[in-house]
Amino acid sequence: MKTKWLRRLGLSGLLALIGLPLAQAQAPAACPGLLNHQFTKLQDGSPMPLCQYAGKVILVVNTASKCAFTSQYEGLEKLYAELKDRGLVVLGFPSNDFGEQEPGSNQQIADFCRMTYGVQFPMAAKTVVKGPQANAFYRQLAERSDSTPKWNFHKYLINRDGSEVVAYTSLTAPDSRSLRKQVEQFLAKP
């Protein structure tokens, strides 16, 4: 009789009885609403759902290839390479919104970033990041941080659960003490 009962109960029921719910054992990290957006990846045109970065600390940067701040690509790549194994993701969003300093095609931008700065961090296809035409993700970042991009290389730092967004102006270099301190604080929290 006990054997029949156990068969009817099934694996999920058995796991629940011993305190291991099946859904919990198999469920990926929940996607915070802030990350519930999808873009096209600059490097290869594949889908780039932001939910894949749930549970990571994310540094979001609107980029441009012909800007006085373009050299920040080097620092962004260095920061990413150093901290990606601890959970940091740098996400680049090329935009032609400021001074038309990102006029190239997605392929030209991808080639420039790879060949000039060795960029390996994920980048979205060219997008709008300011004003009423800004993509929904950037509108949410601006709302949550109370800061809209004023120029290229504006930065948003998002904590692991997407509940906190800190903004940094273009003048904040990727190796700045204040940015680095906040990254470390966000990385230290599970």
Active site amino acids: 67
Interatomic CA distance for residues 143 and 165, integer angstroms: 10
Interatomic CA distance for residues 182 and 121, integer angstroms: 19
Question: Within 10 Å of residue 106's Cβ, how many Cβ atoms?
Answer: 18
Interatomic CA distance for residues 73 and 85, integer angstroms: 19
What is the DSSP pairing of strand 155-158 with strand 88-94? Answer: unpaired
Tokens of 71: 């050299």
Q: Backbone dihedral region of 100: left (phi > 0), alpha (psi from -120 to 50 degrees) or beta?
A: left
Determine the residue type at 62. N
